[in-house]
Structure 1
Amino acid sequence: MKKLYNDKLNYMTVSPVDDYSVEKLRNIYRPPKILEMCKEIRTFKKTEKQVNTYKGVFLTDNTVNPRIFIQGEAGSGKTTFLAKLALDWCEGVHGSSASDKSKIIFADFDALQCYEYVFHITLRNSVNQCDVYTMIKEQIIDRIYSEKDREKAYELVSKIMKHQRCLVLLDGLDEWTGSDDQHNLPTLVVDHNNCVMLITTRPWKLAEGNVKHSDIDALLQLEGINEPFELSKIILSRLVDKEELEIKYTAFTLYVEKQKLEELLSSPMMLSAIVCAYADGKELKGSKCEIYILLVESLFKKANSYKCTFEQPPFPCFTQTENIQPNMENLNRLAEMAFHLLFLNERANSIVFSIKELTKFKIDVIKNFALQSGILTAQRTASALRSSSSFMFIHLSMQEFLAAYHIARNMNLIDGIISIYLNRNPKAYLDIAQVFIFLCGLDVSCAEKLSSMMDERDALDTDHLSSSHERLNEIILAGLREANANGYSDIALKLSHFYFDNNNIIDLHKIWENNAANAIVLNIDDMKPLENQRISPGNDECAYQNTFDLHSCLELTHLDLSGRCILGKGKYTIRFFGQMSFRYV
């Protein structure tokens, strides 16, 4: 099994668009930034306590957590973290021979050796299965043993899971469906209760409420890379001459600062795209759409080298492209399929799909193009009757970008298919977060319309303490920033539940100005004086004020204030928490 992991997990691509540019994971890996989530009644709250050891992942107050979840956004490094964990277990207690300061973080390899076996499972490859033991048989045992030896191996694994302490790594809960509505999580039989499960997922999967609060023994938040500039330099060293590295790296850091790309660098996938684009002489300006259209362009170039620019680009991010215009028909077909798979198909067939879907959307005609470019990938699936191929997009976020592009070209889909989709599940609006953010960078009108639908669904949850409200707050903020990065400064997104803190006050206040009359909840937490805020007349306590006009807040039901230097206009009963300065104007 260790040999399988060293073959399967030991290499990763340096570039998100060049499958041939690979390095050993240990040579380029940089530790992630993982924060503890504090378990409260019905919800989890992010803390500032960083987890730097494997022991910190598995234990709470020296007690092992049977089910541990690590949540993080697309491209944040969840899959890579599990791969590195499995490889560190393979290395044994002494760990890797590499010596650098990154080894200080997650260097307690002894914490992994208390597990006799580590089973690494990719959930997108077992979307219709619920039993973890069956997944292990198909994804691990069947790859190690020939058919005649498998039955004995199955029996041995079952005995191991009964009597030995094992760790099961389940990667990508958001890409898994299960066989029916009765199973919201992959399951272990009672006989295998010595096993610990470590599960990665995007936040929306937990926010939608199908996973019970009681099923989560510990939750961690993965927020990307701890030292993104270190990884940037490593990737850059693989792309430029050694003599030029220091000059190029210094110029790159200045470029990142000038274009305000620091936030995007926390995502390993985004970082890789930005560094590779910079090495090729393409400078970006902080738009996710711009980065993904660059990925599409780079992929298309691999299948068709013919170049042609747009006379009238369909969206601003297409302006500087050269390889997309000659392949617009292919792009549109792929985008249509991406959308329909996400919004119309059963979840089991929305991410991993068969040749039937390719034929339905006439992708079978351009299958070679899609596979040669790398925008689609394929794998063989064996059954008792016959073997066949299943297909998927290179990354779920790429499928979501293409789906957003299709919506931007067909606004009527929002009132039609998307509206029906949102009515399927009370929390369905949360799982389209990435599609919505991309849409903000493509078409303002579509994004505004969709934000209104999402907020309507969110407002149906009357619990003002629900984590779903704060999650939508974050999604709408990300959408505003994406719109601004694409030159749309006057976007009017809808939001009724506001959660202000010192990190979002400026951007969220722009949304507040258009939504004060619709606001249901106004929560201002731990606010501190901000520079460049308007100084109020007769100022006697605070040099700077954070001003909220409450006169037009006809729908407001909850007003929670915590902190200092908050200035309000209106007549409300105020709930005070901690030290705060408030007065009427």
Structure 2
Amino acid sequence: MPQYLQRNNISNIITARPWKLANLIMSDSLTRLFEISGVTNYTTLAENVITVLAEKDGISKNDQQCKNIDFIEIIEAQSLGNLIKVPAVCVQLVHQFYVGRLVEGSRCSVYMNMLDMHIAKGLQKLQIENFDTEEMCVNEIKQIIGTESTEYLRDNRSLVHSASALAFKTLTDTNKESSLVFAENTITNHMTKTKLEYLLQTGIITKKKSFALSSRKNVPYMFLHKTIQEFLASLYIAMNQPDIENILNTIQSVYCDYRSILDIGQLFIFTCGMCAPAAERISKHITDVITCVLDF
């Protein structure tokens, strides 16, 4: 954030898992402790991000203020207020707005743009034209992501397919902890190490830094945000219609009681936008589980 950039004598820690820091042992040499809190005002976060982007482009303060107002108006008009309250997603939405890509109001289009921009960023970092080294003949991918505004997704279908397979398999892991944070061998069950490196370059998957002597051992990986993992998992459902029965059986076995069924909401919403028949089956399953709980 701009107000922090002027201070060179402090370290800023930004985390999506503050509870992990709460368990760390504090050093005896520390003289001050600070309470860690989440983002309390998402509009301030959005304004700060717009300021950083605008200052790089030499945009005046007055125009920055106009952009802030326009951004909030678009968020309200497209009913994206619940998404902006998630800090990681808020930053992504600001970037889409700033480059003129926040034009469609559906969640699926927002996340399509999000992934497309991440792939473009990875290609730019590596200075290559595309990630794919193999041909994919999956018509469902073309139908779902075949828009002009998502050309990088469309041109890297093999990478997207591997990422979606990983997202679905990890999200439906019965171990809740390993469904969000997973080891490298879990990833390489669904893609090559080359594809993993590509996804790390895009930022779609992140890797925790290790300070152990054996830095490659048990290094945890995770998706940029759980909603991106859920979106990719829904994309996997939509792309694999021939195997839909096995996919739905897996979902029903994992989300089978009143506790777990509460976690299926975002996956269900994304599936509604990409595969109506599968969403209808998931809806029926949700109803059955809730009815069973109420009857009990």
Q: TM-score, normalized by length of structure 1?
A: 0.40
Q: Aligned with 2:208: secondary structure?
A: strand
Q: Which residue in 2 is equivalent to 1:238?
A: 52
One-letter amino acid of the counterpart of residue 367, structure 1: L
Q: Which residue in 2 is equivalent to 1:407?
A: 237
Following superposition, the deviation at residue 300 of structure 1 comes to 0.6
Following superposition, the deviation at residue 256 of structure 1 comes to 4.0
Provide closer, same or farther for how the CA distance between residues 412 and 320 of structure 1 changes in structure 2, counting only shifts above 3 A. Answer: farther
**After superposition, what is the alpha-carbon deviation per residue over 1:176-215, rounded to whole angstroms, capped at 9, x for unaligned?**
xxxxxxxxxxxxxxxxxxxxxxxxxxxxxxxxxxxxxxxx
Following superposition, the deviation at residue 264 of structure 1 comes to 3.9
Aligned with residue 365 of structure 1, among 194, 198, 213: 194
Q: Return the structure number with greater relative CO, CA threshold 8 A, min gap 6.
A: 2
Contact 1:330 1:366 in 2 (8 A): yes
Contact 2:112 2:145 in 1 (8 A): no
Contact 1:414 1:450 in 2 (8 A): no
Aligned with residue 282 of structure 1, among 98, 101, 115: 101
Q: 1:455 aligned to 2:273?
A: no
Following superposition, the deviation at residue 367 of structure 1 comes to 2.0
Q: Which residue in 2 is equivalent to 1:430?
A: 262
One-letter amino acid of the counterpart of residue 327, structure 1: N
Following superposition, the deviation at residue 250 of structure 1 comes to 4.4
Q: What is the alpha-carbon distance in structure 2 between the residues aligned to residue 269 and residue 230 of structure 1?
A: 14
One-letter amino acid of the counterpart of residue 201, structure 2: Q
Alignment of 1:284-363 (within 5 A): 284-305=103-124, 306=129, 313-315=142-144, 318=147, 320-344=149-173, 346-363=175-192
**Which has the larger Rg?**
1
Q: What is the alpha-carbon distance in structure 1 between the residues aligned to residue 11 and residue 283 of structure 2?
A: 45
Q: Which residue in 1 is equivalent to 2:87?
A: 268
Provide closer, same or farther for how the CA distance between residues 256 and 354 of structure 1 changes in structure 2, counting only shifts above 3 A. Answer: closer
Provide closer, same or farther for how the CA distance between residues 459 and 358 of structure 1 changes in structure 2, counting only shifts above 3 A. Answer: same
Provide closer, same or farther for how the CA distance between residues 320 and 456 of structure 1 changes in structure 2, counting only shifts above 3 A. Answer: same
Q: What is the alpha-carbon distance in structure 2 between the residues aligned to residue 387 and residue 259 of structure 1?
A: 44
**After superposition, what is the alpha-carbon deviation per residue over 1:303-349, rounded to whole angstroms, capped at 9, x for unaligned?**
22548xx9984227855212111211011101101111121353342
One-letter amino acid of the counterpart of residue 234, structure 1: N
Q: Aligned with 1:447: secondary structure?
A: helix
Provide closer, same or farther for how the CA distance between residues 459 and 8 of structure 1 changes in structure 2, counting only shifts above 3 A. Answer: same
Q: Which residue in 2 is equivalent to 1:488?
A: none
Q: What is the alpha-carbon distance in structure 2 between the residues aligned to residue 225 and residue 375 of structure 1?
A: 25
RMSD: 3.7
**After superposition, what is the alpha-carbon deviation per residue over 1:362-391, rounded to whole angstroms, capped at 9, x for unaligned?**
242312201111111112446687752321
Q: What is the alpha-carbon distance in structure 1 between the residues aligned to residue 209 and residue 234 of structure 2?
A: 29
Alignment of 1:378-397 (within 5 A): 378-381=207-210, 388=217, 389-397=219-227
One-letter amino acid of the counterpart of residue 419, structure 1: Q
Q: What is the alpha-carbon distance in structure 1 between the residues aligned to residue 188 and residue 90 of structure 2?
A: 35
Q: Which residue in 2 is equivalent to 1:121?
A: 20
- Name the % identity: 22
Following superposition, the deviation at residue 440 of structure 1 comes to 1.6
Aligned with residue 136 of structure 1, among 24, 41, 54: 24
Contact 2:121 2:202 in 1 (8 A): yes
Provide closer, same or farther for how the CA distance between residues 321 and 382 of structure 1 changes in structure 2, counting only shifts above 3 A. Answer: same
Contact 2:79 2:105 in 1 (8 A): yes
Q: Which residue in 1 is equivalent to 2:253?
A: 420
Provide closer, same or farther for how the CA distance between residues 167 and 452 of structure 1 changes in structure 2, counting only shifts above 3 A. Answer: farther
Alignment of 1:518-537 (within 5 A): none
Q: Aligned with 1:324: secondary structure?
A: helix
Q: What is the alpha-carbon distance in structure 2 between the residues aligned to residue 437 and residue 300 of structure 1?
A: 24
More helix by share: 2
Provide closer, same or farther for how the CA distance between residues 432 and 385 of structure 1 changes in structure 2, counting only shifts above 3 A. Answer: same
More strand by share: 1
Q: What is the alpha-carbon distance in structure 2 between the residues aligned to residue 246 and residue 369 of structure 1?
A: 37
Q: Which runs of 5+ in 2 are unaligned?
A: 1-9, 131-138
One-letter amino acid of the counterpart of residue 239, structure 1: L
Following superposition, the deviation at residue 136 of structure 1 comes to 2.4
Following superposition, the deviation at residue 232 of structure 1 comes to 3.4
Following superposition, the deviation at residue 270 of structure 1 comes to 3.6
Q: What is the alpha-carbon distance in structure 1 between the residues aligned to residue 60 and residue 87 of structure 2?
A: 23
Contact 1:274 1:284 in 2 (8 A): no
Q: What is the alpha-carbon distance in structure 1 between the residues aligned to residue 60 and residue 82 of structure 2?
A: 28
Provide closer, same or farther for how the CA distance between residues 251 and 434 of structure 1 changes in structure 2, counting only shifts above 3 A. Answer: closer
**After superposition, what is the alpha-carbon deviation per residue over 1:224-247, rounded to whole angstroms, capped at 9, x for unaligned?**
855x54443333222221253244
One-letter amino acid of the counterpart of residue 47, structure 2: K
Contact 2:164 2:235 in 1 (8 A): yes
One-letter amino acid of the counterpart of residue 11, structure 2: D
Contact 1:297 1:322 in 2 (8 A): yes
Q: Aligned with 2:20: secondary structure?
A: strand
- Give the count of matched residue pairs: 265
Contact 1:300 1:323 in 2 (8 A): yes
Alignment of 1:569-580 (within 5 A): none
Provide closer, same or farther for how the CA distance between residues 420 and 387 of structure 1 changes in structure 2, counting only shifts above 3 A. Answer: same
Provide closer, same or farther for how the CA distance between residues 8 and 457 of structure 1 changes in structure 2, counting only shifts above 3 A. Answer: same
Contact 1:375 1:393 in 2 (8 A): yes
Q: Aligned with 1:392: secondary structure?
A: strand
Q: Aligned with 1:322: secondary structure?
A: helix
Q: TM-score, normalized by length of structure 2?
A: 0.73
One-letter amino acid of the counterpart of residue 233, structure 2: A
Q: What is the alpha-carbon distance in structure 2 between the residues aligned to residue 334 and residue 454 of structure 1?
A: 26
Provide closer, same or farther for how the CA distance between residues 354 and 262 of structure 1 changes in structure 2, counting only shifts above 3 A. Answer: closer
Q: Which residue in 2 is equivalent to 1:33?
A: none
Q: 1:441 aligned to 2:273?
A: yes
Contact 1:408 1:443 in 2 (8 A): yes
Q: What is the alpha-carbon distance in structure 2 between the residues aligned to residue 249 and residue 320 of structure 1?
A: 24
